[in-house]
Structure formats: structure tokens, C-alpha cells
Amino acid sequence: MTEVCCNVGAIVPNFKMETYEPSKGDFGEISLETQMANKKWTLLFFYPADFTFV
């Protein structure tokens, strides 16, 4: 079981996951480290399941 990582105001530990990237029509991978290295903000948008309304 993974512990909840962070309250608001805390530093988020690195994470990575596989992605589908519609802009490229290809699979990819994304990590918080890469986002930070590129000086980007990250907006995570969780939803229950594909093929349902978001």
C-alpha cells in the first residue's frame, strides 16, 4: 500500500508513468523530474475511467 505523499504545501516525490500522447499519436513516458527539469507546472487530472464522462 502506498502512503499518501503530500499535503498542500509539501514537495511531491518523483513519479513516472506511461502515457498515450494524442499530439504525437504515440506512446510515451512522463515523470515529475522531467517536468521540473523543463521548468513546467504540472496539472494532474485524475478521473475514474476511460469511456465515461470526465
Partner 1 sequence: MGAEVITVSTDTKFVHLAWQRDEKDLANVKFPMGSDGGGKLARMFGVYDEATSLALRGTFIINPEGKLLNAEVNYYNLGRNIDELMRKFKANLYLQKHETKACPSKWKEEGDKTLTPSVKLVGRVHEALE
Catalog residues that contact partner 1 under the rule CB under 8 A: 1-13, 15, 17-23, 27-28, 30, 32, 35-36, 39-51, 53-54
CB of 34 to partner 1, least distance (A): 10
CB of 29 to partner 1, least distance (A): 9
Q: 8-42 burial, b if ≥16 CB within 10 A, otherwise e?
A: eeeeeeeeeeeeeeeeeeeeeeeebeeeeeeeeee
Query: From the CB of 26, what's the least distance to partner 1, in Å?
Result: 9
